[in-house]
A and B are shown apart, each in its own frame.
Chain A
Amino acid sequence: DSGVTQTPKHLITATGQRVTLRCSPRSGDLSVYWYQQSLDQGLQFLIQYYNGEERAKGNILERFSAQQFPDLHSELNLSSLELGDSALYFCASRQGSNTGELFFGEGSRLTVL
């Protein structure tokens, strides 16, 4: 158990809909990272937050947004969903902003029909 909790584990929805994925980092970790894993694209970095502030942005679509709350949990919002958004979405946390290893949650599997 990594200590990183993600909900929901599975989500099935329709095109055009909006979903929210939630992540609780390990106790004491200030940084949260979001990744998308799909068969054709591999593991893609989406966005990083550190202590409530956006720190780095990767290949995140404009239809996607995220935030980190004062209690350090984070949410990834995916809107106007398309079939190609079907993937496994991982949250990872680490203690600092730019040191240490990542600890991953078990992921949220999103299926868009």
Chain B
Amino acid sequence: AQSVTQLDSHVSVSEGTPVLLRCNYSSSYSPSLFWYVQHPNKGLQLLLKYTSAATLVKGINGFEAEFKKSETSFHLTKPSAHMSDAAEYFCVVSDPWNTGNQFYFGTGTSLTVIP
């Protein structure tokens, strides 16, 4: 079965400092992995996705994530936080062969950016 664990429910960083949001996954085979961002009272927006191509994935707004199979991790990083990055972030693993639910969402990490 697939599952996702976001290791931090809340992360606070100062503006201009690096961001690290941690995600570990469980999958019985090579998964597709995604990071979504949700700003207050908004829908979820795709930041980036991994689908078995390059292990370092670049996304929108300067975010990137590295797929590490040996560590079953897919951590999200950004070199320099901006105030507009304050939001909820969700790590998602996809199981296309499941006849039921195909997307497994983490519980989310709330990112606060301190001016």
Complex Cα distance, B46 from A103, in Å, reads 7
Task: Report whether B96 and A58 are in contact in the complex, using a CB–CB cutoff of 8 Å.
Answer: no
Check B97–A106 contact: CB distance below 8 A: no
Kindly identify which residue among B42, B43, B44, B103 contacts A45, using a CB–CB cutoff of 8 Å.
Answer: B103
Is B107 part of the contact surface with A, judged by Cβ < 8 Å? yes
Interface residues on B, range: 20 to 34
Interface size range of chain A in the complex = 20 to 34
Determine if A56 and B101 form an interchain contact, defined as CB atoms under 8 angstroms apart: yes
A84 at the B interface (CB under 8 A):
no
A101 in contact with B46 (CB, 8 Å): yes
What is the minimal beta-carbon distance from A81 to any residue of chain B, in angstroms? 21
* Max chain A Cβ within 10 angstroms of own Cβ: one of B42, B103, B108: B103
Q: Is the CB of B34 within 8 A of A58?
A: no
Q: Which residues of B contact A42 (CB under 8 A)?
A: 105, 107-108
- Chain B positions within 8 Å of A, measured between CB atoms, are 34, 36, 41-46, 49, 90, 96-103, 105, 107-108
